[in-house]
Amino acid sequence: MQLSRIYASLPEQFSAPLTPTPLRNPQIVALNEPLARELGLDPDWLRSPAGLAFLGQGSRPDGTSPVAMAYAGHQFGHFVPSLGDGRAMLVGEVTDRARRLRDIHLKGSGPTPFSRRGDGRAALGPVLREYVVSEAMHALGIPTTRALAALTTGESVMRETMQPGGVIVRIASSHVRVGTFQYFAAQGDTQSVRILADHVIGRLYPELSDTENPYLALLEAVTARQAKLVARWMLVGFIHGVMNTDNMSIAGETIDFGPCAFLDAYDPAKVFSFIDQNGRYAYGNQPDMALWNLGRLAETLLPLLDTNHERAVEQAKSALMRFDGVFNEAYLGGWRRKLGLALEEDGDARLAGRLLTAMHRGEADFTLTFRRLGDVVRGGQTGEVMSLFGPGSKIEDWIGDWQARLDREERSAEACHADMQATNPRIIPRNHRIEEMIRSAVAGDYAPFHRLTEALSHPFEDRTDGFEAPPTAHEQVKNTFCGT
């Protein structure tokens, strides 16, 4: 295993070195062996005492110290100038089998200089939630951090009650965030902003290094990645829950799965996160919030864009104005695929919007609606999909118009059905299943966690495993919590 320390080699203001804190009795709950091999890591070594020390406390074989990364962030619109890895560490970077550089990062590994009087630990429940949801997002084809391992620590952490502790080992293209840029910009440290931007370009966007204005090109590239990412979230009903600037990755990957959730019944105003009392990060607000966050990134880059402030502002505005076009193209394209449409017609956006209106009125399940529409294409029977809708939805009128639209497609029903079922998942990480899994795990039974993780690794396959059903009235989860 060849571990780099590229980020840790940046000037000292970028991170703080750590002395790994031993865990009382670390045990592996889950080890993602395919991912380990993709990273060139030996699963047998990872299960050894040295591997456990590496996964649980960041002890590198070469003895080099892990680091806690510095960053700031807007949290629910309020700027906090110093946040940083308060319960996490960057162990280092590894080059995977595709020659891509990937971060190895622990959460729940102990206190750091950024812990702000916290214990630096994580509870097992949120660790398993992040493992399940991040791997499910990967299986859905959505850019995301990955889960390499989940461990118990043999220690308890105090949240509202005493809970078993856990550590998650996550993998990312980078853990640099919008808030990382904000950390230095807030101090007026333009040189560090420039060093950080050069680091990001070299690592994530090397094709930009020879452009006329690499920093403007960086803003444009990050804007495009985020627009596409949020469109993909929306197309599967994902609600991040805490879209603060410190939780927005410059790599365009989904990061930090604290109070995240997936829609059951469609509702554009749906909020799960208990701390989001005003609905800032509601499902339907996510594109606007992503653009708002990108505006904060643009502010940090202004001194690099042009020596003339007014020209820099205009360049930044021009870059940000590309967000809507990229988002709308990805979103509408996704909707066409979800509805089995290969051709493009001017009325497709309205057709999709009418379906969402019917789903909202009829409180229809987001995931199953599209899966059942695929069955309609193959069999022609509408009973199952219509049974998902309550009274007043007028879904039958919409289905007639959709079928007329499908009749204008130049391909077979079989091809249309195959495309829809490869686009619309049968199962998602439903909130009530995650809560059931966490309750069992905290009680010492990890079998539900493993069953759920395995099922979610094949989200588009037709199976009979019971995970696709929406929650009953008493199973509904109304609030989620950061919890770690």
**Active-site residue identified among 42, 119, 189, 246:** 246
Region 333-346: mean pLDDT is: 97
Q: What is the pLDDT of residue 214?
A: 98
SS3 375: helix
Task: Check the CA dihedral 437-441-445-450 and report its sign.
Answer: positive
484 pLDDT band (50/70/90 cuts)? low
Q: Hey, which residues does 90 pair with through a beta bridge?
A: 67, 105
* Mean pLDDT of the chain, nearest integer: 96
Rounded to an integer, the average pLDDT of 344-350 is 97
Q: What is the pLDDT of residue 21?
A: 84
How much is the pLDDT for 181? 98
HEC states along 295-344? HHHHHHHHHHHCCCHHHHHHHHHHHHCHHHHHHHHHHHHHHHHHCCCCCC
> Quick one: which H or E segment has residue 225?
helix 214-236
Q: What is the pLDDT of residue 247?
A: 97
Q: What whole-number percentage of the chain has pLDDT above 70?
A: 99
**Which residues are within 8 A (CB) of 2 and not within 5 positions of it... i.e. 6 or more apart?**
40, 94, 95
**pLDDT mean over 411-432:** 95
- The answer to whether the CB of 87 falls within 8 A of the CB of 111 is yes
pLDDT of residue 304 exceeding 80, the answer is yes
Mean pLDDT of 200-205: 98
Per-residue pLDDT of 218-240, as tens digits, reads 999 999 999 999 999 999 999 99
Residue 342 has pLDDT above 80, yes or no: yes
- The band of 472, judged by pLDDT with boundaries at 50, 70 and 90, is confident
Task: Check residue 235 and give its pLDDT.
Answer: 98
- With a cut of 70, say whether residue 429 has pLDDT above it: yes
CB-based contact 407:383 (threshold 8 Å): no
Report the range of poorest mean pLDDT among 33-42, 252-261, 379-388, 468-477: 468-477
Q: What is the pLDDT of residues 128-153, one digit of tens each?
A: 999 999 999 999 999 999 999 999 99
Considering only residues 159 and 91, tell me which one the structure prediction assigns the higher pLDDT.
91
Element housing 93 (H / E): strand 88-95
**Which one-letter DSSP state was computed for residue 156?**
E
Confidence label for 36 from pLDDT (cuts 50, 70 and 90): very high
Q: Nearest Cα to 320, choosing from 288, 359, 351, 284?
A: 288
Reply yes or no on whether the pLDDT at 464 is more than 90: no
Confidence of residue 483 (pLDDT cuts 50, 70, 90): low
In the chain, DSSP finds a helix count (H) and a strand count (E) of: 17, 13
Q: What confidence tens digit (pLDDT) does each residue in 235-288 have?
A: 999 999 999 999 999 999 999 998 999 999 999 999 999 889 899 999 999 999
Virtual torsion, Cα 454, 271, 173, 125, nearest 10 deg: -50
Inter-residue contact 437 to 132 (CB < 8 Å): yes
407 is catalytic: no
**Neighbouring-strand partners of residue 103:** 93, 172
